[in-house]
Amino acid sequence: MQCVAEVPLLKQLNAKYGKDVVFVGISVDTNLDRLDKFIKEKTITWPQVGDGKEFQGEVPMLYRPNGTPTLYVVDRAGKIAGRLNSAEKIEETVQPLLTKP
């Protein structure tokens, strides 16, 4: 689940880049009811994935986050273009990718 303090910025970035960028949240929470409540309370509109297996889940095992939040920018070819620990760096990482053919 994203760091609670970053949700407003993530919402702004999603509104700004939503037609060109896909936002997906990966939860490492063991309590999926708590995840659902968080999504509703924060009115998160992008997809959220969570299996309740913490860092042992399939997706976290693939990307190996060091903690939360860990944010990845994946380019059109499926390569990781950035691994960030704050949403504040998303825009500067995404901008150059959007101008590439």
Q: For residue 48, give the 3-state DSSP assignment.
A: strand
> Taking the CA of residue 52 as centre, how many other CA atoms within 13 Å lie in the half-sphere pointing to its CB?
5
So what's the pLDDT on residue 1?
Answer: 42
**What is the homologous superfamily of the domain 4-99 according to CATH?**
Glutaredoxin (3.40.30.10)
Decide if pLDDT at 3 tops 80. no
- pTM equals 0.82
So what's the pLDDT on residue 100?
Answer: 79
Domain limits, the chain: 4-99
Q: Where are the alpha helices (DSSP H) in the chain?
A: 7-17, 32-41, 58-63, 90-99
* pLDDT per position as a tens digit, 19-75: 899 999 888 999 999 999 999 999 999 998 889 999 999 988 988 887 787 888 988
